[in-house]
Amino acid sequence: MKSKLHKFTDKLWLAIPVLVLLGAVFFTGTNIGNSPTDDIEELDTLLDNFQEAYSSKNLTGLRDLFFADAVVAYDFDQGETQKVRSLEDWLQGTQESVFEVNDYISDTLTNREIEVFRNIAYAVCDYRYIDDDEIGTGIDIFTFMKMRGTWKILSLQFTGDEEIR
C-alpha cells in the first residue's frame, strides 16, 4: 500500500511536463496563424485597398501596399510592348502619364481568384480601367508575401489595351 505522500509525488511528476508545456505556450505565444479563409479575406482587402488607392491617385497609399523591392510588369499592345519596372519607376510613370493627365480614374478588380500557400499567395483578377478618355480591360496578376504577420504585394503583372474604347 502506497503512502499518501508517495501518491502525491507520482501525480506531481506527471503534472510537471504538462505545466512546463502550458507555461511555454503562455510565455511564447501560440504558433497558431490565421486560417486560409482569414488570409484570403486579408488579401481581398489588400486588393480593395489597391483599387481604392489607384482610383484616388494616391501614390503613398499605393507604395505602402508593396514591398520596397517589388516589381511591376506589363504586356501592352497585344504583346508588342512588354516591360518590367521597379516599383518606384512604375509609380513615377503612373504619376506622370496617368494621374497628372486625368481628372477621373476608376480601376475595378473583379472575378478575383486568390490562392494561399502558407506565407505566399497569388491573385488573378479581371480589371476594368476608366479615365477621362478611355475604357480598358485586362488581367492583373498579383503575388503576395506575408512577413511579420502582414501581407504585401511582391509583384504585379498586367495586360493592357485588351479592349480600349
CATH of the domain at 63: 3.10.450.50
61 in the same domain as 23: no
**Is 164 inside a domain boundary?**
no
67 in the same domain as 7: no
Q: Is 118 left (phi over 0), alpha (psi -120 to 50) or beta?
A: left
Q: 144 has which bridge partners? A: 121, 153
pTM score: 0.75
- Residue 55 has phi, psi (to 5 degrees) of -65, -30
Q: What is the DSSP letter of 79?
A: G
Question: Is there a contact between 101 and 111 (Cβ–Cβ < 8 Å)?
Answer: no
Question: Is there a contact between 66 and 94 (Cβ–Cβ < 8 Å)?
Answer: no
Q: CA dihedral defined by 83, 130, 156, 122, rounded to 10 degrees?
A: -140
114 in the same domain as 152: yes
pLDDT tens-digit profile of 53-100?
A: 999 999 999 999 999 999 999 887 777 888 899 999 999 999 999 999
Question: Is there a contact between 107 and 100 (Cβ–Cβ < 8 Å)?
Answer: no
118 in the same domain as 64: yes
92 in the same domain as 16: no
77 in the same domain as 116: yes
**Is 165 inside a domain boundary?**
no
**Is 64 inside a domain boundary?**
yes
Position with higher pLDDT, 20 vs 155:
155
* Alpha-carbon torsion (156, 157, 160, 163), positive or negative: negative
48 in the same domain as 7: no
What pLDDT sits at residue 18?
46
Domain count, the chain: 2
Contacts of 69 (CB under 8 A, 6+ apart): 86, 87
Which residues form the domain of 1?
A: 1-32
71 in the same domain as 6: no
Question: Is there a contact between 29 and 77 (Cβ–Cβ < 8 Å)?
Answer: no
Band (161; pLDDT cuts 50, 70, 90)? low
Band (29; pLDDT cuts 50, 70, 90)? very low
